Structure formats: structure tokens, C-alpha cells
């Protein structure tokens, strides 16, 4: 095959990938665009076949009504406490566990790592009953701690930090040990700085996952004092005799996911770079 044909084939392949990416992106974005359009639909204009997207006029009535129908400020407070409380503990446990697996040799190290990674293959729903029984036994039902407790240890975070620490050249570790560094100084000055992109990528994944989580908070909460945003959306699916009022539900949903969307749009370059440098695909 000539060089010119190879170049044409490469360009066609690149063009095909670009077209597929654009199509998939439009399909993914269509749901969000419809929710935005529906949320601004005036309440007195029902969604019909001919006007499922735009109603000809815009109104903030759905947002105002949704905001007053649920204690969103309380839900936001609970969600922020849960999400960043989990993240704070996960960062500590994942960093120390990853450091131990990368830097030390001990009996049963491979088996312990195997059982930790085995958790990644266990569906979350399979652990609902035993976790719920544990929460009830500890007397933590309907508390924010009940939502956070099962996630204080992260198998994914441990594996990610271990891999990041293994990439640190051992010559730097040896030089630091010769200079008299103890394990805390090794972790702080040798292992952590090059692992910041991996830690940032894990933090983004953790915040996104727990901000959007629904099933476990629904199971272990029973009142507004401990409900998070996703659980608070349930009341908007139970309005009316014929089911959900979609414009109102769309407005409430955008109130919930809005902070994440805005954060991504503002910091998207940092988000993407963190995942690229950490090796997460």
C-alpha cells in the first residue's frame, strides 16, 4: 500500500471516529437538552406530540414551584456533608492503603489485595441487605452517617493509588531513605506529589458517584433531616393521578444536577487532564 493510500485510510478512519463521537454526544446531550426545554415550559401548556420540545414561551414557574415543594437547602446541605465526608475518609484510607501495598512487603499481601479488588466485582445491590442489617444493629438508621459508612473504604481508590505509587522511581525512594526520611516524609514528599492527578481523578469520580447515588440513601433514610437530593426527587414522581408532571420533574432534576454540570463546564480542562494523566479511561 502506497504512502498516499495509507494517509487517505488514516483520514477516513479519523473522520469515521469523529462522526460516531458526534452522534453519540448528540444522543447523550438530547436528554439534557429536552429536560432544559421542558423545565421552562409554562405549567398551563401540556406536553403534546407536536410540542414536546418548545412551547413558544419560557417560564420559571416550574423552578419556583419545585424549589418551594421540597426543602432543597436541607437536601443540599445533607448531600454536601455526605459527598465530601465520604471523600475525606476515602482519601485517607486509599492513600495509606495504596502506600502500604506499594512500599512494603508483608505476609498475605497478594491475597489481601486480591480480596480488596474482589469487591469491585460485587454488585452494590447484593450488599443492601447485610449493610442495612448492620446499620440497624448500630442504631444509625435515618442518619447521614448511615449513608456514608459503607463507602469509607474504596477498593477502586486503593488500587488507583497503589498503581500511582508504583510509578514512582525507586531511586527517589532510596535517596529519600538515605537522607533519613521516615515513612510520613516519604509519603508526603516522594509518593504524593506525582500521584496528585490520580488522586484528583479519584476525587472527581467519588463526588460524581455519591452525588448521584439514589438506592442506598433511599433504603437507609426515612425523613427529610437525612435525605439527600436524589432521594428528595422521589416526591416529584408521585404527583398527580396520571404520574409525574414532567416539566416540574425536569426543573427539579436540573436543580439537583445543576452544580455538577456547572462545575464540569467551568473546570472541564482540569477534569479531562486529571483522567488523562491518571490513566483512567
Q: What are the domain boundaries of the chain?
A: 3-61, 71-278
For 217, counting Cβ atoms within 10 Å of its Cβ (0-12 exposed, 13-18 middle, 19+ buried), the class is: buried
Q: What is the pLDDT of residues 54-85, one digit of tens each?
A: 666 777 888 888 888 888 899 999 999 999 99
The reported pLDDT for the residue numbered 211 is 92
For 261, counting Cβ atoms within 10 Å of its Cβ (0-12 exposed, 13-18 middle, 19+ buried), the class is: exposed
The reported pLDDT for the residue numbered 4 is 66
CATH class of 71-278: mainly alpha
* Spans in the chain with pLDDT lower than 50: 281
The reported pLDDT for the residue numbered 180 is 82
Tell me how long the chain is: 281
Q: What is the pTM of this model?
A: 0.81
3-state secondary structure of 49: coil
The reported pLDDT for the residue numbered 119 is 83
* Integer Rg of the chain from CA: 24
Amino acid at each position: 500500500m502506497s504512502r498516499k493510500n495509507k494517509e487517505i485510510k488514516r483520514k477516513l478512519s479519523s473522520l469515521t471516529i469523529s462522526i460516531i463521537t458526534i452522534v453519540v454526544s448528540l444522543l447523550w446531550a438530547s436528554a439534557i437538552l429536552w429536560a432544559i426545554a421542558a423545565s421552562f415550559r409554562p405549567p398551563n401548556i401540556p406536553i403534546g406530540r407536536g410540542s414536546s420540545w418548545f412551547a413558544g414561551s419560557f417560564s420559571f414557574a416550574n423552578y419556583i414551584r419545585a424549589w418551594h415543594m421540597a426543602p432543597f437547602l436541607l437536601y443540599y446541605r445533607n448531600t454536601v456533608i455526605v459527598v465530601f465526608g465520604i471523600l475525606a475518609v476515602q482519601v485517607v484510607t486509599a492513600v495509606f492503603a495504596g502506600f502500604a501495598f506499594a512500599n512494603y512487603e508483608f505476609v498475605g499481601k497478594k491475597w489481601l489485595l486480591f480480596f480488596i479488588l474482589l469487591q469491585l466485582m460485587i454488585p452494590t445491590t447484593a450488599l443492601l441487605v447485610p449493610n442495612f442489617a448492620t446499620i440497624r444493629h448500630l442504631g444509625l438508621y435515618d442518619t447521614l452517617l448511615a449513608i456514608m459508612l459503607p463507602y469509607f473504604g474504596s477498593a477502586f481508590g486503593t488500587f488507583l493509588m497503589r498503581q500511582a505509587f508504583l510509578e514512582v522511581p525507586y531511586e527517589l525512594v532510596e535517596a529519600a531513605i538515605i537522607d533519613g526520611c521516615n515513612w510520613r516524609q516519604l509519603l508526603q514528599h516522594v509518593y504524593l506529589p506525582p500521584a496528585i492527578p490520580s488522586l484528583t481523578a479519584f476525587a472527581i469520580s467519588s463526588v460524581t458517584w455519591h452525588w448521584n447515588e439514589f438506592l442506598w440513601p433511599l433504603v437507609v433514610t426515612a425523613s427529610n433531616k437525612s435525605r439527600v437530593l436524589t432521594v428528595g426527587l422521589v416526591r416529584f414522581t408521585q404527583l398527580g393521578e396520571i404520574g409525574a408532571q414532567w416539566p416540574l420533574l425536569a426543573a427539579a432534576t436540573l436543580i439537583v444536577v445543576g452544580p455538577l454540570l456547572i462545575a464540569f463546564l467551568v473546570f472541564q480542562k482540569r477534569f479531562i487532564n486529571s483522567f488523562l494523566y491518571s490513566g483512567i479511561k
